Amino acid sequence: MAKLLALFALCLLPALSTAVAPFRLKGHVYCDTCRAGFETSATTYLAGAKVKVECRDRSSMNLRYTLEAVTDASGTYEMEVESDHGDQKCECTLVSSPDPECAEPNIGRDRSTVILTRNNGMNQNARYANAMGFLKKTPLAGCTDLVRSYFADDI
């Protein structure tokens, strides 16, 4: 019996040591207060915005994994993704905004592809999604000059 227990332990211990920590997926959600299509110095970050990550089979595009999160006071969300999704296409997407005045998803900035596998040379557990944003219904006063300053002709 002792030999059987030792054999079992010998087989089980290596399997336990190869268990990997989950991925920590992190990102930000913002309100584009100037409707510029990108983050500016007038951008605000949304607390209470809902986001989700979905992983789909690359060939059939069937949904294989989904997880939702809510942003904190700084507009930051974090998710713990339990498994490797190397054969899947994973995207973070906006779900909803807590601000009815800033609830229109900014097309092109409403999703972010994320890599959730270790089979690509990235060994760390932290993964980062690009910032995603909603557009404010009415731009703030002064936005015309602010956006114009990003495209100055002094080259």
Domain of 74: which CATH number?
2.60.40.10
Q: What is the mean pLDDT of the chain?
A: 88
Question: 73-120: per-residue pLDDT in tens?
Answer: 999 999 999 888 888 999 999 999 999 999 999 999 999 999 898 888
What is the helix (H) or strand (E) element at residue 10, kind and residue range?
helix 2-17
Question: 11-70: per-residue pLDDT in tens?
Answer: 555 544 445 788 999 999 999 999 999 999 999 999 999 999 999 999 999 999 999 999
Is position 38 within any domain? yes
How confident is the model over 123-143, as a mean pLDDT? 94
- Give the pLDDT of residue 120: 81
pTM: 0.82
Percent of the chain with pLDDT over 70: 86
- Give the pLDDT of residue 118: 86
| Domains contained in the chain, number | 1
Is position 112 within any domain? yes
Residue 5 DSSP code: H
Is position 35 within any domain? yes
Is position 2 within any domain? no
Is position 16 within any domain? no
- Give the pLDDT of residue 17: 43
The answer to whether residue 152 scores a pLDDT higher than 80 is: no
Q: Which residue has the higher pLDDT, 4 or 85?
A: 85
Other CB atoms within 10 A of residue 121 CB = 5
Is position 6 within any domain? no
Is position 69 within any domain? yes
What is the helix (H) or strand (E) element at residue 147, kind and residue range?
helix 143-150
- For every residue of 65-99, which 3-state class applies, written as one string? EEEEEECCCCCEEEEEECCCCCCEEEEEEEEECCC
Residue 21 DSSP code: P
- Give the pLDDT of residue 21: 83
- Give the pLDDT of residue 129: 97
Domain of 136, in residue numbers:
23-150
What is the helix (H) or strand (E) element at residue 145, kind and residue range?
helix 143-150
Is position 12 within any domain? no
